[in-house]
Amino acid sequence: MELGTFGAILGLALQIEEQAAGFYKTAAGDDPDELFADLARGARKRLTRLERARREGVAEMILEPITGLDSDNYDVVLSPGMAPTEQALLLEKAAALFYRDAADKMPIREVVRLFERMARENDKNCNKLEDYG
């Protein structure tokens, strides 16, 4: 689905973080090292940041249409047969790709910085997961 508005892009970002938070919360039960619990806390913090950006960007979100982003490019289907770290890597890589692509399209500088920061956090999470796996 084409993401043509600020609201649609932030809506997908919220979905991505909600999916990650839910996955990490479930995976944390089998994780003695608490990596997934830490990632779940991080996802909830990211949700809070996105909610704040949505509230603060309401006045600016109708100014410019956004083209070139399709939500299908960032869909992650988690398979129960995969190891939790593999599933987590899929989530983190898709999120990093989304945030980088969206940052390039956003007309609001504060949101661009937020998305760039979130992509860097996803990269760090990938490194943690690769070291953990």
2 forms beta bridges with 70
Classify residue 1: in a domain, yes or no.
Answer: no
Q: Does the predicted model carry a pTM greater than 0.85?
A: yes
Which residues have CB under 8 Å from 99's CB, separation 6+? 13, 115, 116, 118, 119, 122
What total number of domains does the chain contain?
1
Can you tell me the distance from the alpha carbon of 83 to that of 94, in angstroms, rounded to the nearest whole number?
A: 17
Can you tell me the distance from the alpha carbon of 87 to that of 80, in angstroms, rounded to the nearest whole number?
A: 9
Classify residue 47: in a domain, yes or no.
Answer: yes
What is the CATH number for 47? 1.20.1260.10
Band of residue 33 on the pLDDT scale cut at 50, 70, 90 = confident
Taking a C-beta distance cutoff of 8 angstroms, is the pair 69, 102 a contact?
Answer: yes
pLDDT recorded at residue 28: 86
Taking a C-beta distance cutoff of 8 angstroms, is the pair 43, 17 a contact?
Answer: yes
Please indicate whether residue 54 or residue 14 has the higher confidence score (pLDDT). 14
Classify residue 108: in a domain, yes or no.
Answer: yes
pLDDT recorded at residue 97: 97
* Domain encompassing residue 83: 6-132
Query: Each residue of 49-103: pLDDT tens digit?
Result: 998 888 876 655 555 678 889 999 999 988 889 999 999 999 999 999 999 999 9
**Amino acid at the residue 120:** R
Classify residue 98: in a domain, yes or no.
Answer: yes
Average pLDDT, the chain: 88
pLDDT recorded at residue 39: 93
